[in-house]
Structure 1
Amino acid sequence: MLAKNMNITLLAFLPLLFPVIAIPNINTINKKAYTIINSTCASTLYPDLCISSLTSPSPPPNITTTMDVVMASLNHTISTIQFNKITINKIAKNNSLTVREKTALQDCNKTADESLYELKKVKINLHNYTSKNHSANDLLTLLSAAMTNQETCIDGFSHDEASRIIRSGFLAKQFHAYKLCSNILAMVKNMTDSSKGDEIGDETESNNAGHDEWPKWLSAGNRKLLQQSTMVIPKAAIRE
């Protein structure tokens, strides 16, 4: 009986010895992530794709800032292009392909490698980004190149003779990657513009003072795409 009473007494004091650790409500975390994802993706040309690529089946729990959204989008796009390379290699083994199609697939493989290099370089630059050691234009140059690479691959199959295998099993995936690159380009452009005169945009503002809003290296097609996306995200959303 004495031992039983001692056990009961010990149980009564356990909460004092081991305080209950508050666990964040997962719904609260997801709600904040959804809010930031929606506000960041609003600046893109393909907001539905931007949102769905980050929220299916659920948003990553570590998304709390606009920069987190950009990084998550980069990771998703890199994975998508890596998967597309696997598809390219599979299709290239088809004996029914013409010489022209095989050459175009080889070009796509090369441009995919270039895009992966450029997107990974953007990730590194963003991780180490300050207005003193990187220009916003450097980021946009890399992203514009990655986007153009996807467009170049698609153009390689614009001829009428392109086989059904290419059109149905491959081009849609390439255009999907193109849209993802476009979204990241718009988000980074928006983010750096929103921070002009502040930490991330100081160098961009000084470099562009007295010049046209769009850098000379940006192609006319990509410039037109970005001109259609002019919503600016408040600084508060970037720094939350």
Structure 2
Amino acid sequence: MGNHSLHLLIVFLSLQCFLVHNTMAKSAMTSNPAAIKFIKVSCKATLYPVLCVQCLSAFANTVKQSEQQLAHAALSVSLSKAKSTMIFVSKLNRMRGLKPREKQAVKDCLDTMSDSIDQINKSIPELGHTGQFSTGQDFMWHVSNVQTWVSAALTDENTCLDGFSGRGMNGNVKAALRLRILHVAQVTSNALALVNRFADRHRPSP
């Protein structure tokens, strides 16, 4: 019963995410093709460009051709995915039939995902401080904070993944969590790459 519930939960969450982003992205592509082109070019700087375009095309009307807004959208997506994954892990933690080692790994993952969410959450307003009135060392201070916090969030997510690398884990639990956490880590990696791109292209001259 537990494995069946787990399978249904995975299917529901994955399908829900796909439908929402696919519908929004199609609308944006027809209404703002210039912004879509900008997003595609920018996403080439990431490790997962296809995922990057899929996640951020829905924000084309907001992003337009602003590198700061694109980085902001990427961080928002990362935060949203991390929060939904946290809910997913919490549900796993309450499921019966987990082995002690699996239970501990899920608990550890909850802790690291909580830290990851905190890091991303505070990076979003910090990025907002890198606007037109932020120059020189002030700009670098704020953007450096964002880079540090998003890097820490990515480390937390990878730490959660490492906790499920052993052979003794239940196959369904291991597969479910790795799929979700890997997706979050890839989205966060893309967000960090876009923050770095924004920083490099707007770094003040010496």
Shorter-chain TM band: 0.7 to 0.9
1: CA distance, partners of 2:50 / 2:137: 34
2: CA distance, partners of 1:196 / 1:181: 22
1: CA distance, partners of 2:29 / 2:49: 23
Higher helix share: 2
1: CA distance, partners of 2:157 / 2:92: 17
2:169 matched to 1:162? yes
2:59 matched to 1:62? no
Give 1:29 shift. 4.5
2: CA distance, partners of 1:150 / 1:144: 10
| 8 Å contact kept, 1:34–1:59 | no
Name the SS of the counterpart of 2:97 in structure 1: coil
Name the SS of the counterpart of 1:61 in structure 2: helix
Name the SS of the counterpart of 2:168 in structure 1: coil
For structure 1, the 5+ residue unaligned runs are: 1-25, 199-204, 206-240
RMSD, matched Cα: 1.8
Rg bigger for which structure?
1
Partner of 2:119: 118
Partner of 1:174: 181
Name the SS of the counterpart of 1:43 in structure 2: coil
Give 1:31 shift. 0.6
Give 1:86 shift. 1.1
Aligned-pair identity (%): 27
2:163 matched to 1:139? no
2:200 matched to 1:193? yes
Give 1:176 shift. 0.5
Size of the alignment, in residue pairs? 172
| 8 Å contact kept, 1:50–1:183 | yes
Name the SS of the counterpart of 1:62 in structure 2: helix
| 8 Å contact kept, 1:30–1:59 | no
For structure 2, the 5+ residue unaligned runs are: 1-27
